[in-house]
């Protein structure tokens, strides 16, 4: 197979991105990733509905949403693996296909098998040879935690090890854009921590990173910006602090022995009340009014804490709208 002929090569369901012309220079200016009126349907299922997004070069962006939100379909269109029904995708001022041809995109997908009959080192070395500006293979093996099993055959890997190899394949390309779909799936807690330590270093080098994840704490901790999707649309977009602020609820916690749940629930601004031993937890739509009335009626309350909504609460609230009548959810 000629490396100057094919933009993509598949092994099973896995896709490795390679440049058509390694000598071709690029001048992309200050452009980043731009999605304009992007739509994609599968039969009667509207997976992505007229999405407009602009991601600056150098940003680390988390793509969040429940199953069926359209995250994977959006990623597929950015990678050029799916063609939009309407709208356009621009990657550094190019089409996804042109960006792939120039070796600007490294992709890590959540499904697919690795090339068989190769060791990990051989596979990563092979992929590196397909890019115009690859990273050092030994360095990538070390950073991704794959050096310890680099001589093992790809068919002899555990699920977590396979996931690390997928990351090494995406990273070794030295691409300007890394697109990662559920990158820490199948990794244990320690491996997830190591992965994000590596990603911090990658992002610090000026790479643009887009990742989809079900781990909300990862998006909160590592993303410059969170894009929250539901039913094929963007429902929130901004830093984690802004996303949390969009959920209007606040929680009051206090120590209040022998509290009457019914009386607490009746306080102004309180949506619901719960007791946990001597502690009470009040979910509030107006925490200021609730707190004032709590102190007036229950002067014995102590250890009072008022907390804004976390990312999980915001996620649930912002994605809880009723489904559109003409859409059937699909897990993509």
Domain range for 98 is: 8-244
Res 133 pLDDT > 70: yes
Residues 171 and 261 in one domain: no
Q: What is the CB neighbour count within 10 angstroms for residue 14?
A: 17
Residues 202 and 280 in one domain: no
Instruction: Give 290's pLDDT tier (boundaries 50, 70, 90).
Output: very high
Q: How far is 106 from 94, CA to CA, in rounded Å?
A: 15
Last residue of a domain, one of 193, 210, 244: 244
Identity of the highest mean pLDDT range in 105-119, 144-158, 173-187, 199-213: 144-158
Q: Do 77 and 36 form a contact (C-beta atoms < 8 A)? A: no
Residues 197 and 258 in one domain: no
- Written as six digits, the tokens of 1 are 């197979």
Task: Kindly give, in sequence order, each residue whose CB lies less than 8 Å from that of residue 134, ignoring residues fewer than 6 positions away.
Answer: 128, 172, 173, 174
Note the pLDDT of residue 31.
Answer: 64
- Average pLDDT, whole number, for the chain? 85
Q: What is the pTM of this model?
A: 0.74
Residue 27: give its domain's CATH number.
3.40.50.300
Residue of higher predicted confidence among 184 and 7 = 184
Residues 61 and 171 in one domain: yes
Residues 269 and 176 in one domain: no
**Of the listed ranges 11-15, 35-39, 78-82, 277-281, the one predicted with least confidence:** 11-15
Q: What is the mean pLDDT of residues 153-160?
A: 92
Helix (H) or strand (E) holding 118: none
Note the pLDDT of residue 248.
Answer: 67
Note the pLDDT of residue 246.
Answer: 77
Q: What is the mean pLDDT of residues 260-274?
A: 92
Q: What is the CB neighbour count within 10 angstroms for residue 55?
A: 21
Residues 138 and 27 in one domain: yes
């Amino acid at each position: 197979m000629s490396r100057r002929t094919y933009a993509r090569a598949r092994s099973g369901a896995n896709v490795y991105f390679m440049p058509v012309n390694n000598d071709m220079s690029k001048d992309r200016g200050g452009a980043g990733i731009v999605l304009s009126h992007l739509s994609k349907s599968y039969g009667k299922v509207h997976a992505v509905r007229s999405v407009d997004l602009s991601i600056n070069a150098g940003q680390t962006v988390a793509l969040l949403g429940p199953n069926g939100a359209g995250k994977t379909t959006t990623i597929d269109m950015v990678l050029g693996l799916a063609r939009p029904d309407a709208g356009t995708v621009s990657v550094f001022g190019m089409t996804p296909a042109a960006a792939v041809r120039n070796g600007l995109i490294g992709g890590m997908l959540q499904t697919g098998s690795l090339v068989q009959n190769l060791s990990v080192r051989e596979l990563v070395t092979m992929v590196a040879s397909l890019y115009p500006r690859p990273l050092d293979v030994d360095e990538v093996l070390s950073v991704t935690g794959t050096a310890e099993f680099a001589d093992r055959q790809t068919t002899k890997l555990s699920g977590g090890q396979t996931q690390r190899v997928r990351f090494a394949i995406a990273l070794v390309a030295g691409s300007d854009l890394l697109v990662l779909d559920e990158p820490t799936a199948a990794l244990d807690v320690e491996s997830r921590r190591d992965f994000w330590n590596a990603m911090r270093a990658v992002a610090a080098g000026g790479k643009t990173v887009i990742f989809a994840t079900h781990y909300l704490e990862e998006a909160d901790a590592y993303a410059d910006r969170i894009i929250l999707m539901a039913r094929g649309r963007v429902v929130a977009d901004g830093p984690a602090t802004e996303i949390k602020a969009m959920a209007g609820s606040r929680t009051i916690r206090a120590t209040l022995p022998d509290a009457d749940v019914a009386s607490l629930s009746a306080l102004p601004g309180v949506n619901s009340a719960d007791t946990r031993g001597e502690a009470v937890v009040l979910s509030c739509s107006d925490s200021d009014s609730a707190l004032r009335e709590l102190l007036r009626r229950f002067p014995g309350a102590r250890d009072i804490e008022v907390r804004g909504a976390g990312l999980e609460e915001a996620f649930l609230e912002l994605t809880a709208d009723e489904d559109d009548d003409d859409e059937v959810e699909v897990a993509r």
